[in-house]
Chain A
Amino acid sequence: MSDTQPGPSTNPNLAIPPEETFAVLRVDPDGSAQLLDPLMRQHSDSEGTAFWCRPNQPLQVGQRVQGILEFHPREAVAHERMPQFTVNVVVESEG
């Protein structure tokens, strides 16, 4: 497997640089969204390069979003909740 996955970070600002752009792959009725890591980093708790989160604003499939502060998924699992994300900018919407 690739060893490019980032390690857990206690500082969410360090986990993902805020200028990186993520694609929204799926959105569930409860508002949780699945985002794809643009750098194809393996996220340990999802065992892949995409991961679920609960963004602080409604998202749509196909959007590209930026300005994400991540509580690392491993930390979220430890607290039995989905990682919370702040999506500051919707860069582009499909259609």
Chain B
Amino acid sequence: MGFRYLDRLASEENIRSFLELADLAAGAGSSAENVFALSHRLRDSIPMQLCRKRLGRDPEAQALIDARRLCGPYDAAALQALPKGSLGHTYATILGTLGYDINFFPEPAFYNNLESDADYINYRVYATHDLHHILTGFSLDNFGELGVISVSVAQFSHPGLVFTDLMALLLQWLRTDTPMDELESPEEQARTAAYAFGRISQGLEMGLAARPLFPVLWEEQMHRDLDAVRADFGIKPVTEGPWSWHANPALQAALAA
């Protein structure tokens, strides 16, 4: 197979590698394990070099990377016992109501026991991912996923999350044959390229406006009021639409109970 402009890039090996990554990204909605694996495979990539350089410009982030500080394990019962409205109470209540395990993120062993900076970055990104949902307001189902990951894309170009954004745009563009406003259900709308553009844009803008979230020790913020934490870090959350957990009546009832 010959190309006019892509001959150097489109080697058989590169094409196979790309398609394997694309396959993992396409399966992101089916299982988070695919995203973990996708990020791990990009640990030595050029985009990871960019990510490391951006984080390395922030002394707090670099210190955290150097120290290989671990996250959690989180005690769901202790967090739920914190005052209503606190970050910790909200975090534990929402994950509990959804039936999610609050410690569902890969152990250091999955990331080569954190032997490289890239391994630690991948570890921390996923160990704090659900907290980012709580902070940003983006829902913890597939409706809010592109929004929440785009916050980290804006702040430090995390390669696994950038690739997921790009593939979502491409794959949803390829299969969108109906204008979004002619689709009735939120599920159908969420499968369009227009929807992906919308959530990615929201997340990018939120990330650019906020203070760096990567180096924040969320364990020290759990007892604080969620709105106050958001204000301190310049996070303007999404609170409406199917892509926000704020708009989920079951979660609001659980938080009010």
| A positions within 8 Å CB-CB of B | 1-2, 23, 25-26, 34, 36, 38, 40, 42, 46-51
- The residue that B67 contacts in the complex, of A1, A2, A23, A46, with Cβ under 8 A, is A46
Count of chain B residues with a beta carbon within 8 Å of a chain A beta carbon: 13
Asked if B70 contacts A2 (CB within 8 A), the reply is yes
| B positions within 8 Å CB-CB of A | 64, 66-70, 72-73, 108, 113-115, 219
> Please, which residues of chain B bring their CB within 8 A of the CB of A40?
68, 70, 108, 113-114
> Please, which residues of chain A bring their CB within 8 A of the CB of B115?
23, 25, 36
Asked if A48 contacts B108 (CB within 8 A), the reply is no
A34 to B127, CA, bound (A): 23
Closest chain B residue to A37, Cβ basis: B68
Asked if A48 contacts B67 (CB within 8 A), the reply is yes
Asked if A48 contacts B66 (CB within 8 A), the reply is yes
> Please, which residues of chain B bring their CB within 8 A of the CB of A25?
66, 68, 115
A10 to B67, CA, bound (A): 23
A2 to B127, CA, bound (A): 13
> Please, which residues of chain B bring their CB within 8 A of the CB of A42?
69-70
* Closest Cβ–Cβ distance, residue B222 to chain A (whole Å): 11
A-B contact pairs, 26 of them (CB 8 A): A1-B70, A2-B72, A2-B73, A23-B113, A23-B115, A26-B66, A36-B68, A36-B114, A38-B113, A40-B70, A40-B113, A40-B114, A42-B70, A47-B67, A48-B64, A48-B67, A48-B68, A48-B69, A48-B70, A49-B67, A49-B68, A49-B108, A50-B66, A50-B68, A50-B114, A51-B67
A32 to B115, CA, bound (A): 18
